[in-house]
C-alpha cells in the first residue's frame, strides 16, 4: 500500500498522520519528535527527528536518530512494517522526591505507542514521549514468551557537524575529565551524559542520557567510531569487570528497554530538568520517611588511612557534631582500626556525639581486583542480609559500596539487589567506583548519591587534577550533576597530597553548585574551624536536598551561577572557571515578590585564600555586582526578613 491515512488529529498536542510520519509534540508545543520512514513507505527503515523552539525560533536539535534491535533469533531494524499507532495519551503525574534538585516533580508528556512487525511477523513497539524539557523513547516486545540475547541495539544519534559538544571518554569508573570539542573529530567510546549545543549559546542544547535501566538490560555508552557525528548506543566491553558477566543482555518476553532520554531547550531547561527521574519507575520501598539527606564529615581526603586511627575517626565525629552535620563516614580499613579503640568503640563514640555513622564496603567478588577488606559482605543476598541486620543493630545509617567496574546486566542487578536489601533494614546507600545515575533514586529513594565523577578525591591521586579542576567544576554542573546526585566530596580549603588553585570562594560555592543527597564535606577539621564565622555558619545551614533549582547564569567551562531553594530560603553558588578575574552580576529576580530578604554574601577576598563577606537587604527588583578572582567563586544565602527575627 503506497499511502495510507491512519488517523489525523490534534489531540493532546500530538499529530498522528500518514504512516510515513508520526509527530509527537510537547504539552507546551515547543518540542517535537517525528517518526518517519526513510523510503517514504509503510515498511523499511524508520528514524526519529527532534526539533525544539527557543524564544519562538524553531530549529532541528537532532536531525536523525536511527532505530532498531538485533535479537539472537531475528532482527528488528531495516524491514519493519508499520501496523498502527495507539491513540495519543497524556502522561500527567506528580511525585515527591526525597532528595535532589526539586522536591515536587512532574512527569508530564504526550505519548504515542507505535506498533511494528518484522518479516517474521514478530511485534516491536516504539513508545515515544515529548516533554516540555525533552524527549524520551523506548522499545518494547509487547507479546510472546521465551528468553533471547540482544546482540545489538541500533539506536544512534546524528549530531550536526557544527555542534559544540562536551563529552567524557568512557572508562568503567566514569571518572574522566570532560572534553570540549567544536566538532566530532575525536572518535571513540563516550560515557553518559553527553552535552551538545546545536544552535549557539542562545539556541538549543541537548543532553543525551538513558534512564530506568533495570535487571532486564545492561547499561550502555555512546560510540562515534564509525561516523564522527553519529553516536551509537554500545554495550559494555566484555573485558569490563575482569571479564565477568556477559556484555550482551538476555531478555525475557514481554519486555521493555530502558528509556533513551534527551533533555532539550535552553541551557537552563537542561540544567533544571528532572527528566531522568521523571521517566523512571516510582518508588518501590514504601514509606521512605527514614531516608534523611544531610551533610557528612569524611576523613579519607585529608588522612588517606585515617580510619585505621580511632582518634582520627573521633575527631571527624567531633567536627560533624560541632557543625550540626548528621553524619560521619567511616571509610575503608575500619576493620584495621587501632590507636585507642576498634570499630565498635568508634560507633559508640560517634553516636554519643549525636552523629550517625556511615560505613564503607568493598563490593567484592571476582569482578574487582581491589583487595581492600572487608570483601564480599555485599556480594550475595545472604551475606547482605546478615550484614545489614548487624549494621541496623549497631546504629549505622548507611553504607558506601565501592569498586563495581562494570555496567553489564549482572552488575545492574547487583546494584539493585543492594538497594532493595538495604531498604529492608532502613539503611541508606551510595555507590563509588560506579555507574552514573540512571534514575534509580526515584525507584529507590535510599540511594543517596553516586560517585561517577572525577571529584576532589583526585587531589590525592595525581598532580594532574590541579590545573583542570576549575574548568571541570563548571562543566560537570552542566553535564554529570544534571542527571542525578554526585558525590564530588567538595569544599576543601586546605590541600591534600596535591594543591588546588581554586579560591576559597570557589570551594565554598561547591556546596550549593553540586547536588548530592549525602554531601560529604571533605576537608580536615582545622580546614573548617579556621574559617570565618560567616563561612562556618553557611556550612552549618546549607542543605543537601532542595525544593527548587534555577540556573541563573553560565556556560560550560566558563562560569556558572545556580540558585537552590529550601523552604523560603534561597542559596546561591557561583564559580569562575577562568584564570582572569571577572565581575559577576547577580540579579535577584528569582526571589519571591513583595518579600524583603537578608542577603549574606561570601565571596573572594583580596587573595585566593581569603574571604569577603557582607550583609544587606535585598528584594527581587535588585541586583549586585560580585568581584571574582581567577578560579574564584561566591556563595550567598537569602533569608526572608520575617524569618530572621528582624
What pLDDT score was predicted for residue 21? 82
581 and 510 in a common domain: yes
Inform me whether the pLDDT recorded for 10 exceeds 80. Answer: no
* Cβ-based neighbour number of residue 587 at 10 Å: 14
Q: What is the pLDDT of residue 594?
A: 87
Q: How many domains does the chain have?
A: 3
DSSP 8-class letter at 212:
-
Q: What is the pLDDT of residues 440-491, one digit of tens each?
A: 999 999 999 999 999 999 999 999 999 999 999 999 999 999 999 999 999 9
pLDDT the model gives residue 281: 98
Q: 378 with 479, same domain?
A: no
Query: Taking residues 275-286, what's their average pLDDT?
Result: 97
Predicted structure pTM score: 0.95
CA dihedral of 214, 215, 216, 219, whole degrees rounded to 10: 60
Q: What angle do CA 73, 79, 81 make, to 5 degrees?
A: 105
Is there a single domain that holds both residue 274 and residue 290?
no
Domain boundary among 452, 485, 517: 452
Rounded CA gap, 192 and 173, in Å?
12
pLDDT at 643: 54
Q: Is pLDDT of 6 > 50? A: no
Q: What average pLDDT does the segment 527-535 reach?
A: 98
Predicted confidence band at 8 (pLDDT cuts at 50, 70, 90)? very low
Boundaries of domain holding 145: 11-278
Residues 296 and 445 in one domain: yes
User: What percent of the chain stands above pLDDT 70?
Assistant: 96
User: Domain check: are 409 and 531 in the same one?
Assistant: no
Q: Of the residues 452, 483, 502, which one is the last residue of a structural domain?
A: 452
- What are the residue ranges of helices labelled H in 290-371? 310-323, 343-352
Q: Is residue 243 part of a domain?
A: yes
Same structural domain, 427 and 496: no
User: What's residue 91's pLDDT?
Assistant: 97
Kindly state whether residues 439 and 481 are assigned to the same domain: no
pLDDT score of 20 more than 80: no
Tens-place pLDDT, residues 589-631: 999 998 999 999 999 999 999 999 999 999 999 999 999 999 9
- Please indicate, yes or no, whether residues 587 and 608 belong to a single structural domain of this protein: yes
Cα–Cα distance for residue pair 124/129, rounded to 1 Å: 17
In a domain, 457, yes or no: no
1 versus 235: the higher-pLDDT residue is 235
- End residue of a domain, out of 278, 305, 335: 278
For residue 185, the model assigns a pLDDT of 94
Note whether residue 21 is domain-resident.
yes
pLDDT for position 448: 98
Antiparallel, parallel or unpaired: β 104-117 and 89-96: antiparallel
Q: Which helix (H) or strand (E) holds 233?
A: strand 230-234
* 406/554 same-domain check: no
Q: Based on the fold, state whether residues 265 and 362 are members of the same structural domain.
A: no
Mean pLDDT of the chain: 95
pLDDT digits (tens, 9 = 90+) for 405-440: 999 999 999 999 999 999 999 999 999 999 999 999
Is the pLDDT score of 644 beyond 60? no
Residue 340 lies in a domain: yes
* pLDDT, tens digit, 9 for 90 and up, residues 78-121: 999 999 999 999 999 999 999 999 999 999 999 999 999 999 99
Tell whether 461 is covered by a domain. Answer: no
Does the structure show a pLDDT above 90 at 552? yes
> Which neighbouring-strand residues pair with 569?
566
Q: Say which CATH number the domain at 261 has.
A: 2.70.98.10
pLDDT score, position 57: 87
pLDDT, one tens digit per residue, over 351-363 is 999 999 999 999 9
* Residue 5: pLDDT over 50: no
Check which CATH number belongs to the domain holding 431 and give it: 3.20.20.70
Question: What does the DSSP assignment read for 79-110?
Answer: TEEEEEEPPPEEEEEEEE-SSSS-SEEEEEEE
Strand boundaries in 4-146, DSSP class E: 14-16, 21-25, 31-37, 43-44, 46-54, 57-66, 69-71, 75-76, 80-85, 89-96, 104-117, 123-131, 134-141
Cell representation of residue 391: 549494621
- Grid coordinates of 570: 534561597
- pLDDT for the residue 4: 28
Confidence band of 642 (pLDDT split at 50, 70, 90)? confident
643 and 611 within one domain = yes
Do 355 and 503 reside in the same domain of the chain?
Answer: no
- When pLDDT is cut at 50, 70 and 90, the band that residue 12 belongs to is very low
Place of cell 563516550: 190
Q: What is the residue whose three cell numbers read 557582607? A: 614
* Within-domain flag for 507: yes
Is the residue at 458 inside a domain?
no
Q: Do the domain assignments include residue 308?
A: yes
Amino acid at each position: 500500500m503506497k499511502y495510507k491515512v491512519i488517523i489525523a488529529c490534534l489531540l493532546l498536542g500530538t499529530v498522528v498522520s500518514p504512516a510515513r510520519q508520526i509527530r509527537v509534540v510537547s504539552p507546551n508545543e515547543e518540542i517535537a519528535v517525528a517518526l518517519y520512514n526513510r523510503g517514504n513507505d509503510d515498511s523499511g527503515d524508520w528514524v526519529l527527528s527532534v526539533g525544539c523552539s527557543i524564544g519562538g525560533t524553531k530549529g532541528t536539535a537532532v536531525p536523525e536518530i536511527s532505530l532498531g534491535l538485533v535479537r539472537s533469533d531475528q532482527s528488528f531494524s531495516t524491514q519493519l512494517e508499520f501496523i498502527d499507532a495507539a491513540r495519543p495519551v497524556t502522561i500527567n503525574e506528580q511525585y515527591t522526591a526525597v532528595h535532589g534538585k526539586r522536591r515536587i516533580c512532574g512527569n508530564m508528556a504526550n505519548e504515542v505507542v507505535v506498533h511494528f512487525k518484522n518479516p517474521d511477523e514478530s511485534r516491536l513497539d516504539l513508545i515515544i514521549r515529548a516533554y516540555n524539557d525533552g524527549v524520551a523513547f523506548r522499545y518494547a516486545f509487547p507479546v510472546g514468551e521465551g528468553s533471547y540475547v540482544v546482540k545489538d541495539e541500533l539506536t544512534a544519534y546524528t549530531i550536526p557537524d557544527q555542534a559544540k559538544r562536551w563529552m567524557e571518554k568512557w572508562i568503567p569508573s566514569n571518572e574522566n575529565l570532560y572534553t570540549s570539542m567544536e566538532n566530532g573529530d575525536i572518535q571513540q567510546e563516550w560515557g553518559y551524559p553527553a552535552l551538545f549545543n546545536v544552535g549557539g549559546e542562545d539556541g538549543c542544547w541537548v543532553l543525551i542520557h538513558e534512564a530506568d535501566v533495570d535487571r532486564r538490560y545492561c547499561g550502555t555508552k555512546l560510540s562515534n567510531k564509525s561516523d564522527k557525528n553519529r553516536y551509537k548506543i554500545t554495550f559494555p566491553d566484555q573485558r569490563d569487570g575482569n571479564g565477568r558477566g556477559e556484555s550482551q543482555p538476555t531478555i525475557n518476553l514481554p519486555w521493555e528497554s530502558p528509556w533513551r532520554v534527551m533533555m532539550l531547550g535552553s541551557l537552563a531547561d537542561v540544567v533544571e530538568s528532572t527528566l531522568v527521574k521523571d521517566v523512571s519507575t516510582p518508588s518501590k520501598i514504601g514509606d521512605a520517611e527514614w531516608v534523611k539527606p544531610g551533610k557528612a564529615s569524611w576523613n579519607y581526603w585529608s588522612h588517606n588511612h585515617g580510619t585505621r586511627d580511632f582518634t582520627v575517626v573521633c575527631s571527624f565525629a567531633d567536627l560533624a557534631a560541632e557543625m550540626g552535620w548528621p553524619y560521619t563516614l567511616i571509610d575503608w580499613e575500619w576493620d584495621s582500626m587501632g590507636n585507642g579503640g576498634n570499630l565498635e568503640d568508634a560507633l559508640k563514640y560517634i553516636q554519643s556525639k549525636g552523629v550517625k555513622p556511615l560505613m564503607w564496603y568493598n563490593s567484592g567478588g571476582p569482578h574487582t581486583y581491589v583487595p581492600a577488606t572487608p570483601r564480599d559482605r555485599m556480594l550475595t543476598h545472604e551475606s547482605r542480609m546478615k550484614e545489614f541486620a548487624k549494621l541496623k543493630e549497631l546504629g549505622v545509617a548507611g553504607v558506601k559500596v565501592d569498586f563495581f567496574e562494570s555496567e553489564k546486566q549482572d552488575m545492574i542487578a547487583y546494584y539493585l539487589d543492594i538497594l532493595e536489601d538495604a531498604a529492608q533494614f532502613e539503611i541508606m546507600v551510595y555507590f563509588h567506583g560506579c555507574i552514573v545515575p540512571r534514575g534509580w533514586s526515584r525507584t529507590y529513594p535510599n540511594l543517596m548519591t553516586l560517585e561517577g565523577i572525577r571529584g576532589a578525591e583526585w587531589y590525592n591521586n595525581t598532580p594532574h587534577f590541579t590545573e583542570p579542576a576549575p574548568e571541570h567544576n563548571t562543566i560537570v554542573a552542566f553535564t554529570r550533576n544534571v542527571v542525578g546526585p554526585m558525590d564530588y566530596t567538595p569544599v576543601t580549603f586546605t590541600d591534600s597530597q596535591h594543591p588546588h588553585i581554586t579560591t576559597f570562594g570557589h570551594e565554598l560555592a561547591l556546596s550549593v553548585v553540586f547536588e548530592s543527597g549525602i554531601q560529604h564535606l571533605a576537608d580536615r577539621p582545622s580546614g573548617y574551624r579556621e574559617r570565618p564565622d560567616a563561612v562556618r555558619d553557611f556550612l552549618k545551614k546549607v542543605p543537601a536536598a532542595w525544593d527548587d533549582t534555577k540556573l541563573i547564569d553560565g556556560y560550560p567551562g566558563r562560569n556558572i551561577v545556580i540558585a537552590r531553594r529550601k523552604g523560603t530560603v534561597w542559596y546561591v553558588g557561583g564559580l569562575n572557571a577562568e584564570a582572569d578575574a571577572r565581575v559577576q552580576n547577580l540579579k535577584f529576580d528569582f526571589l519571591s515578590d513583595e518579600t524583603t530578604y537578608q542577603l549574606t554574601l561570601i565571596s573572594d577576598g583580596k587573595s585566593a585564600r581569603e574571604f569577603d563577606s557582607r550583609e544587606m537587604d535585598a528584594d527581587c527588583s535588585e541586583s549586585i555586582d560580585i568581584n571574582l578572582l581567577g578560579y574564584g567563586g561566591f556563595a550567598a544565602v537569602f533569608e526572608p526578613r520575617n524569618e530572621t527575627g528582624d
